[in-house]
Structure 1
Amino acid sequence: MPASHSTRRGAPTRHGRTAAVSGAGLLATVLLAGSLVGCSEEGEQIPSIGYAIDNTVTTYNANSVAGAVSGARQAFARVLPGFNYTGPEGGPVADTDIGTANAMPGDALTIQYKLNPNSVYSDGVPMSCDDLVLTWAANSGRFPMFEAASTAGYSDIDRIDCQTGAKDAVVTFKAGRNFTDWKSLFGATSMMPAHTVAGAAGVPDIVAAVQNSDQGALTRVADFWNDGWTMAPGDLDLALFPASGPYKVESFSEDEGLVLVANDRWWGNRPATSRIVVWPKSSDVSARIGDGSVEVVDVAAGSAPDLDLGGFDVTEVPSRSVEQFVLSTSGLFEDAAGRRAFAACLPREELASKFGIATQSDEAGAATGGPVDTRVTAPDSLVHQSVAGAVGGRYETADTAAATDALADTGNTSATVRVGYLGPNPRRAEIVSAVAAACAPAGITVQDVASPEFTPTMLRDGQVDVVLAGTAAAPGAAGTAAATTAMYALRSGVRSNFGDYSNGRVDQIVDQLAVDSSTATQLSLSTEAENILWSDVPTVPLFDQPRTVAFATGLQAGAINPTRSGAGWNMDRWVLRR
């Protein structure tokens, strides 16, 4: 696995030792970080490296509803690798340690997957195409007993030809459903160990159960897939957590963190450092830095209180995740007028300027920034600028009169809106405070109901009215170069659509954008979608979430990855010498 890649975006500004890095600047930073490998042998190698993230780790399964909004992708990318990983540029990068995926000729998209002949789990059970079949079954939407976060791509697969226990499989997509982002499927953290599920569920042949649509067997499989990999500190049955990557889980506790150690059955290059300790948000990152437990930090800028990053090389970079409000579609917000009232009182330009990161320069060379105006296009896509015009100047500044009028359309002259997010988070607390001040004149009282136990499912359960989070309501690192995850979080029936927004035309557009990459289609349909979405307002995008990424002085091979993978994407290459 390569030690470094380049990434993108953002105009350079500096304050203290933290740099906000753009295009060429970040490229230089990342390449420099990667080039440090092997450049210096001075100092003694430290046998353990601490890695702090801004999210919880509640499950081994990053594909479930709970897992997709947890830190599982950051923690387990090198514990449960797949046929690809999300690289720093935001796109899928083939991971040939696991195997190969190659398109075959034919009208229907058909991919041949071949697992590495040496691939084996840490418990000695070989990897097999059973793992692919389980991944498809769980994420396809065909079997609703599985609580998968998203069906993107997997719902377009017609069948998987797999002989139980074999090392190869042929995946055939439905006619006319040539999913353009297919290279991201079956990637890091998506393939869970089928043999573990089979044993726990009492289903000896998962492939046969899927092929025969055995509802009884699949219900037992889903029960374990949904909840069987829940992770509580101090309470792990390690037999249920076999690894397919260079690291495996050794332990998880409040005091010692999530400990990953070298997997002695790994067939690829040995990890450069034998022990990585992942420190979730609940572990008090500031205290862990203070006591020397953390050498790598990857958090949303301003999200962790009282960080002292002296002795670290620090970079602030815009990420692939869009900071946004995700709105309920019940209560006050059942009527789109209620959602428009909230959106109208938001000072989006002010929020982007104060809490985002500069992304371009004006004619004088001064750094400027602005709010994100699209939900279904990536900022570096060819059609992004044109599609962003669909907002038409709406919802840029707080408009008390418009908010008051929209609120009146719901039959109310006042309302209370509860905003939830994973706390403590000083940056998001400031955002909510700014919104509360802007919305009060319109009769809208905004309450901050953040908590350390917060999850986006509270929106669906009616415990909050709005979620403040990143792409697809993820509290921490999120996003890729493709708009796939963001689009599907607005599609009816997809569980990462936490506000339960439903619009038949938007569903049709999402389905078409997923299989048609032509510029004309992307421009036409994305613009139509944004016109609908700025009228319905199921979400309000704010700005590209800034990330603070810090590597302790002396750490080699640290490489920024401002995507859902986070800095831990290449943790098996990290070396720390002192």
Structure 2
Amino acid sequence: MSMSALRRGRKAVVALTTALAVTLVSCSAGEEGAGMGEQQGTPPSTDFFGYQTNSRLVTTNAGTAFGAATNAELLASRLYPAAFVPGPGGQLIPNSDLVTTQEITEPSPDAPRKILYTISDQARFSDGEDVTCEDFLLAYKAGKMRELFGSQKPLANEISNLQCAAGFKQFVVTFNPGQGERWRYLFGPGTVMPSHAIAQKAGLTQEELVGALYAEDPYQLQEVARLWRYGFSVTEFDPDLQLSYGPFVIDRVGPDGEVILKANEDYFGDAPALEQLVVWPRSADTQRLVEDGALQVLDSSTANPTWYDRDSETNPFTLQSQPGDLTDTLVLSGYGLFSQQWARQAFAACVDQGRLAQVSSEKSGTEVAPAYVHVLRHSDPLIPRLDPVTNPHKKTDMELAGQLAGQTIRIGYLGPDERLAAMVQAIKESCEAAGVTVEDVAAEHMSQIHLEIDPETGLPTIDAFLGPVDPMYEYGGPEALIQNVSALRVAEEKLWEDLYDIPVSAQPRTFILDRSVENVVPYTGLSGIGWNMDRWNINEELAGQVTATSEETSEQ
């Protein structure tokens, strides 16, 4: 069954389910509906398989602070796959289509951890150029030089050296003594970008790029950093820069911010089951897209969308809600008011995680629990073993919080977002009892970079940023293994003592899936449900049954 036939069936289903008339759309560009304003000669985005994310589609570089804030991995994970990719159960699996790894030293106090990376001979970008060690060197240096690159790659700070010669397919990463246990999370989804394309646009050879990166010279790297930070914008799509080494490559960007992907012909691994796939942003009109039969997979902000009737016999979708792997977290600035440890601890004392989890649950329609642990995902079975460290932080202390009386705390998040807004309001109400004022300063371009000093004021733009993080990528520390419980307790105690981050609660997730779609495996980590989107496919027999059912119901 073709996508157009499937769409006809879906339109009939949704018309019956929602009892809404489908309005005829004018042919004029000024009256076009969602996804219909395509350039002349190209089919509308609604003609293809559709996946709507619960985020804005702003950049494909997840290593930038703004990419992290917008969860760019949802789009970028199959453009720039990680060195280790999530399996069906969330476990990490080596991505041998890209790189293989080998620990070449047994870590000890006198011998830091060293990892040998060997890039596949077949790993190449969609312009035919090889993936080489410069791509990983750039990822590391961008993470280390956070202020220049506007990056958010905390684990890069655990690296002491990355040995790379221009054009080579091997490199060695050496970690600082006692660090690097979470090295498999280092080169995550959407963080290894095409260095050759960046160098070319910056007017550098690969050798010159490598030299500039090792020198860490801000003057030499100024244009490289600008391109790395802003060049992978979705709204200003540059096909010469936004190459891919994954199964998909960006074909074009539609008028409503949707990103049309196509199979990457230079990808050595298995070709995608779908030749084209459209990724829609959160801002797209979901109901209209559903009515047009243009959505098959949805990552929804609520478990109770107004357009969804789960009891309808002709409903083609299933809905699944669950607490996600990510932890909603308050990340605090190290400058301004929160440059002092006592101030950070006082603020944490009026943050009521239990109440915030309740508010998040009410707004999302998905029950989530409070979180008190930094170093582990909130669902990790080892969590109870860290209770001796976290129990003292499971209640508010208004006397301690009162040390901040008269102060104003500015909390930013990527807005607009009703759930996060309600959580900030709950923090405001809780901290008011201690005489602390909390101000909601959400913005469309908010990220953790605003926790840094603003050169014009000498102060951070915000004092705290609220958003989801994956503890395994955000914090260094021991692996999540039973034999490491003592070390995990030490690491957790240190994080609560320094307190640059306050874990809040599990992130709620809801997925809505067309029953005729095969191989969709819900995953709530950074890559989201699209972690294996290259394997998604339409079961034509099931699609035909749904279409036939809708047509029979329509005739009655």
TM-score (norm 1): 0.72
Going from structure 1 to structure 2, the CA distance change for 1:407 and 1:348 (only over 3 Å counts) comes to closer
Does residue 165 of structure 1 match 2:167?
Answer: yes
Going from structure 1 to structure 2, the CA distance change for 1:212 and 1:247 (only over 3 Å counts) comes to closer
* 1:392 counterpart residue number: 391
User: Aligned partners of 1:417, 1:147: CA distance in 2, in Å?
Assistant: 23
User: Aligned partners of 1:161, 1:242: CA distance in 2, in Å?
Assistant: 22
My pick for the range that moved more, 80-89 or 214-223, is: 214-223
User: Aligned partners of 1:515, 1:148: CA distance in 2, in Å?
Assistant: 26
- The aligned amino acid for 2:137 is V
* 1:60 counterpart residue number: 60
The answer to whether the 8 A contact 2:331-2:465 is kept is: yes
* 1:349 counterpart residue number: 354
The answer to whether the 8 A contact 1:419-1:466 is kept is: yes
Equivalent residue in structure 2 for 1:468, among 466, 469, 491: 466
Does residue 519 of structure 1 match 2:484?
Answer: yes
3-state secondary structure, aligned to 2:249: strand
User: Aligned partners of 1:437, 1:145: CA distance in 2, in Å?
Assistant: 37
Report deviation, 1:465. 3.8
- The aligned amino acid for 2:515 is T
User: Aligned partners of 2:156, 2:345: CA distance in 1, in Å?
Assistant: 32
Going from structure 1 to structure 2, the CA distance change for 1:332 and 1:185 (only over 3 Å counts) comes to closer
Equivalent residue in structure 2 for 1:544, among 487, 492, 506: 506
User: Aligned partners of 1:66, 1:160: CA distance in 2, in Å?
Assistant: 28
My pick for the range that moved more, 520-529 or 123-132, is: 520-529
3-state secondary structure, aligned to 1:118: coil
3-state secondary structure, aligned to 1:124: coil
Report deviation, 1:369. 7.0
* 1:371 counterpart residue number: 370
- The aligned amino acid for 2:373 is T
Q: Deviations over 1:228-277 (max 9, x none)?
A: 22332xx3221111111111111123426111111222222111111121
Does residue 486 of structure 1 match 2:448?
Answer: no
* 1:35 counterpart residue number: none
User: Aligned partners of 1:172, 1:458: CA distance in 2, in Å?
Assistant: 30
The answer to whether the 8 A contact 1:390-1:530 is kept is: no
| More helix per residue | 2
Going from structure 1 to structure 2, the CA distance change for 1:335 and 1:447 (only over 3 Å counts) comes to same
Equivalent residue in structure 2 for 1:426, among 418, 421, 435: 418
Structural mapping, 1:263-412, within 5 Å: 263-301=264-302, 306=306, 308=308, 310=310, 311-328=316-333, 333=338, 336=341, 338-353=343-358, 355-356=360-361, 370-379=369-378, 383-396=382-395, 402-403=397-398, 405-406=399-400, 408-410=402-404, 412=405
Going from structure 1 to structure 2, the CA distance change for 1:138 and 1:434 (only over 3 Å counts) comes to closer
Does residue 73 of structure 1 match 2:73?
Answer: yes
Q: Deviations over 1:509-556 (max 9, x none)?
A: x6xx489995264244135325515xxx54332221121122112111
User: Aligned partners of 1:330, 1:305: CA distance in 2, in Å?
Assistant: 40
* 1:529 counterpart residue number: 494
User: Aligned partners of 2:147, 2:423: CA distance in 1, in Å?
Assistant: 37
The answer to whether the 8 A contact 2:361-2:367 is kept is: no
Structural mapping, 1:133-172, within 5 Å: 133-141=137-145, 145-153=148-156, 155-162=158-165, 164-166=166-168, 168-172=169-173
The number of aligned residues is 475
- The aligned amino acid for 1:432 is V
Q: Deviations over 1:363-419 (max 9, x none)?
A: xxxx9975212112334657532323323344535xxxx43x445534x4x454443
Going from structure 1 to structure 2, the CA distance change for 1:465 and 1:314 (only over 3 Å counts) comes to same
3-state secondary structure, aligned to 1:239: coil
Report deviation, 1:456. 3.6
Equivalent residue in structure 2 for 1:117, among 117, 121, 129: 121
Report deviation, 1:334. 5.1
Report deviation, 1:187. 4.1
Q: Deviations over 1:433-467 (max 9, x none)?
A: 43444444444444444344433434445444433
3-state secondary structure, aligned to 1:137: helix
Structural mapping, 1:196-235, within 5 Å: 196-206=197-207, 208-209=210-211, 213=215, 215=217, 217-232=220-235, 235=236
Aligned residues with identical type, % of pairs: 26
Q: Deviations over 1:175-205 (max 9, x none)?
A: 7356222223334322211210120111112
Going from structure 1 to structure 2, the CA distance change for 1:570 and 1:524 (only over 3 Å counts) comes to closer
My pick for the range that moved more, 380-389 or 559-568, is: 380-389
Q: Deviations over 1:302-345 (max 9, x none)?
A: 6x974637532111122221123334455655555554554444
Report deviation, 1:220. 3.6
Going from structure 1 to structure 2, the CA distance change for 1:266 and 1:544 (only over 3 Å counts) comes to same
The answer to whether the 8 A contact 1:344-1:395 is kept is: no
Does residue 259 of structure 1 match 2:256?
Answer: no
User: Aligned partners of 1:287, 1:342: CA distance in 2, in Å?
Assistant: 43
Going from structure 1 to structure 2, the CA distance change for 1:547 and 1:110 (only over 3 Å counts) comes to same
* 2:133 counterpart residue number: 129
Going from structure 1 to structure 2, the CA distance change for 1:278 and 1:110 (only over 3 Å counts) comes to same
Report deviation, 1:353. 4.2
The answer to whether the 8 A contact 1:48-1:274 is kept is: no
The answer to whether the 8 A contact 2:59-2:232 is kept is: yes
User: Aligned partners of 1:515, 1:268: CA distance in 2, in Å?
Assistant: 31
Structure 1: unaligned runs, 5 residues or longer: 1-45, 358-366, 472-478, 489-509
Report deviation, 1:468. 2.4
The answer to whether the 8 A contact 2:186-2:473 is kept is: no
Going from structure 1 to structure 2, the CA distance change for 1:187 and 1:135 (only over 3 Å counts) comes to same
- The aligned amino acid for 2:65 is V
Going from structure 1 to structure 2, the CA distance change for 1:292 and 1:133 (only over 3 Å counts) comes to same
User: Aligned partners of 1:282, 1:81: CA distance in 2, in Å?
Assistant: 25
Going from structure 1 to structure 2, the CA distance change for 1:485 and 1:449 (only over 3 Å counts) comes to same
Report deviation, 1:122. 1.2
User: Aligned partners of 1:183, 1:561: CA distance in 2, in Å?
Assistant: 18
3-state secondary structure, aligned to 1:525: helix
- The aligned amino acid for 1:193 is P
User: Aligned partners of 1:423, 1:457: CA distance in 2, in Å?
Assistant: 15
User: Aligned partners of 1:396, 1:127: CA distance in 2, in Å?
Assistant: 50
- The aligned amino acid for 1:320 is D
User: Aligned partners of 2:335, 2:515: CA distance in 1, in Å?
Assistant: 50
Structural mapping, 1:78-89, within 5 Å: 78-89=78-89
3-state secondary structure, aligned to 1:559: coil
The answer to whether the 8 A contact 1:108-1:172 is kept is: no
User: Aligned partners of 2:488, 2:525: CA distance in 1, in Å?
Assistant: 24
Going from structure 1 to structure 2, the CA distance change for 1:341 and 1:115 (only over 3 Å counts) comes to closer
Going from structure 1 to structure 2, the CA distance change for 1:178 and 1:428 (only over 3 Å counts) comes to closer
- The aligned amino acid for 2:124 is V
Going from structure 1 to structure 2, the CA distance change for 1:347 and 1:560 (only over 3 Å counts) comes to same
User: Aligned partners of 2:390, 2:211: CA distance in 1, in Å?
Assistant: 48
CA RMSD of aligned residues (A): 3.5
* 1:455 counterpart residue number: 447
User: Aligned partners of 1:260, 1:119: CA distance in 2, in Å?
Assistant: 19
Going from structure 1 to structure 2, the CA distance change for 1:53 and 1:373 (only over 3 Å counts) comes to same
3-state secondary structure, aligned to 1:242: coil
The answer to whether the 8 A contact 1:421-1:451 is kept is: yes
The answer to whether the 8 A contact 2:161-2:175 is kept is: yes
User: Aligned partners of 2:55, 2:423: CA distance in 1, in Å?
Assistant: 19
Going from structure 1 to structure 2, the CA distance change for 1:305 and 1:445 (only over 3 Å counts) comes to farther
User: Aligned partners of 1:376, 1:88: CA distance in 2, in Å?
Assistant: 22
- The aligned amino acid for 2:468 is G
- The aligned amino acid for 1:94 is P
